[in-house]
Amino acid sequence: MQRTLRLMEEGGKHLLLITVAFFILIPILWMLATSVKAPQEVFSGHLFWAEHFSLDGYLRVFRDIPFTLWAWNSSVIAGAQTLGQLVVGLAAAFAFAHYRFPGRDALFFFVLMTMMIPPQVTMVPVYMIVNELHLLNTFGGVIVPHLASGYAIFLLRQTFMTIPRELGEASVIDGCSAIGTMWHVYLRLSGTVMSALAVILFVGNWNDYHWPLLVLAEKSLQTLPVAFVQFREEESLEWVPTMAVATLSMLPILALYLAAQKQFIEGFMNSGLKG
Amino acid sequence: MVMLNRWNGKQGEAASAPGARGKAGARRRGRLHKLWLPLAFLLPALGLYAVFFVYPFLFSLSLSFQQWNLISPDKEFVGLANYVHLLHDDVFWISLRNSALYMLMTVPLAVGIGLAMALLVESLWKGKRLYRLVFFLPVVSSIGVISIVWGLMYNPQDGAVNKLLASFGIQGPNWINDPAMALWALAIVGIWKGFGYNMVLYISGLKSIDRSLYEAASIDGAGRGARLRHVTVPLLSPVTFFILVMSIISSFQVFATIQIITRGGPNNSTNVLVYQIYQEAFQFFNIGTAAASSTLLLLIVGTLTVVQLRLSNRMVHYQ
């Protein structure tokens, strides 16, 4: 009796959650279905089902739309930015966790504070500085201002603090240089966090919209979302190829997300609450 | 093992400056050494922060007292004129009101749904991971791309939203073309994209609650509702606090959906502070006004954060 009740309750919860999940997935399902519809079916057909399945939208993407160029730009920018953020973050987090020095806590507090301030507050002057440095319309202009990531420094520092100090000190005594200690002790012992962080940073960089929009006016350099939004407006692209581009631009992130879901979600879990 | 390391550590400190002549010299060099090395590791981050955070921050403040059009070589000091201009500018007040409204529309729902889903998903026997995966999917989606999809979703005749409503016999509104609905339309996208992150934070908070507290409450006769109200919710309050602070800050940053779906319209009904700054700076080239607006944005977000910190002392229970 008790068991039946609990089973029914579990069933009820699933029913509720499946309904919510369906609503959450509506934009994605609709995007997928529309991307494989025949043009005449777009406005009249079934919402989530293509009766006249057609890959015309995708063919058009590769024939008429510089999609691969956009994807390449996004990959290079997101990749380089992530790598840089990891290196800068690793060094700073190592300094915060391994050394004691005057002003350390104040500096760490400053890093936390940078995360609390909306980037739009400094966006106009940063734009001007990037202009002064002749970095407008370059990948560097997108990447460099964001290399110091408060999030990366914070997450790595929190992780490094859980590594016993003695391990680091022991490696110094064993003749390891500071860089060696950082590399062989701290980095080696936080591989999972590092990979989670890399994935999270990469996705954030890949998805970034506001800043690349300002820096990259030159079409051949624009990142995927920025170029896609502009292209669609200028060419008044129809719904089917639009949805095909949207689907294709989600694929890399979706693949990464499904492959690294554990790191992803746990990385985000760790990010919040240990400060 | 730990003992050994500790011993090694002490040994190391005494022998850290083998080349030093006197004891004092060794100590001084040790201290300098101690300051110099961590600074070297911090240098890249601090240098970047100096150039792309601290300096722009001060620069923005000084620009807010000047008049400038981004191109001309001359900047003119105008005192508080930019601020005065803003306070007499209807669009500024509308955008400020819309920012506040957008926050009130998105934050409670995104936090509430996040908590409800966390509680539901975590209480399941099977399928936790699958639901987590689905609900977190919008968080990782590209806001630029998904804004285009949502823009089409809201098409009054052929969009998925109104077609779905129609299949339930409901005549959907004009969404993004209707000044009364447009901000809600964007808020729905914001909630859709944001609640999964809150859910994941709540799940990690739930996992850190000591099970024995529930047992103790049960023994004391607390039913399910009472356990939720007197154990779970108070013990989640640090998570709630963190989520609220971060969601309020990020709700003021909404930009991509507006720039892509509505361009601030119709009739400024979706113009928010950040979009107004963007327009002033990069469409009208009123850099001074944009900078003054940025300063006010910072003041507002800062005040909200400080108020929350103050309140948290009274409302947040730590385990």
Beta bridge partners, B67, equal: B76
| Chain A residue with Cα closest to B166 | A47
The 10s digit of each residue's pLDDT in A179-195 is 888 887 888 888 788 88
Q: Is the pLDDT of residue A69 over 70?
A: yes
A99 to chain B: which residues are within 8 Å by CB? 34, 37-38, 41
The 10s digit of each residue's pLDDT in A5-33 is 888 888 999 999 999 999 999 999 999 98
Mean pLDDT of A216-243: 90
* String of DSSP letters for A30-70: HHHHHHTS-GGGTTTS-SS--SS---HHHHHHHHHS-HHHH
The 10s digit of each residue's pLDDT in B167-184 is 888 888 989 999 999 999
Chain B interface includes A274 (CB < 8 A): no
Q: What percent of chain B has pLDDT over 70?
A: 88
Distance in Å from the first CA to the final CA of chain A: 46
Least confident of A158-172, B87-101, B121-135, B139-153: A158-172
Residues whose CB is less than 8 angstroms from the CB of residue B306 and which lie 6 or more positions away in sequence, other chains included: none
Q: What percent of chain A has pLDDT over 70?
A: 97
Mean pLDDT of B235-256: 89
Chains A–B, number of C-beta pairs less than 8 Å apart: 279
Band the pLDDT of B6: cuts 50, 70, 90. very low
B204–A120 CB contact, under 8 Å? no
This complex has an ipTM of 0.87
Contact yes or no for B79/B288 (Cβ under 8 A)? no
> Two tokens at B168?
């339930």
Give CA–CA dist B232/A255, Å, rounded.
35
Mean pLDDT of B132-150: 91
CB atoms within 10 A of CB B136: 20
Least confident of A248-252, B28-32, B133-137, B232-236: B28-32
Contact yes or no for A142/A76 (Cβ under 8 A)? no
The 10s digit of each residue's pLDDT in A87-139 is 999 999 999 988 888 888 899 999 988 888 888 888 889 998 999 999 999 99
Q: Is the pLDDT of residue B15 over 50?
A: no
For chain B, the average pLDDT equals 84
Mutate to test the interface with A, among B61, B145, B245 (most CBs of A within 10 A): B145
Contact yes or no for B108/A209 (Cβ under 8 A)? no
CA B185 to chain centre: 20
Mean pLDDT of A60-77: 91
A268 to chain B: which residues are within 8 Å by CB? 136, 139, 197, 200-201
Q: Which helix (H) or strand (E) holds A86?
A: helix A67-98
Least confident of A163-167, A203-207, A246-250, B122-126: A163-167
Give CA–CA dist A181/B291, Å, rounded.
44
Per-residue pLDDT, A251: 87
Chain B interface includes A120 (CB < 8 A): yes
Chain A interface includes B24 (CB < 8 A): no
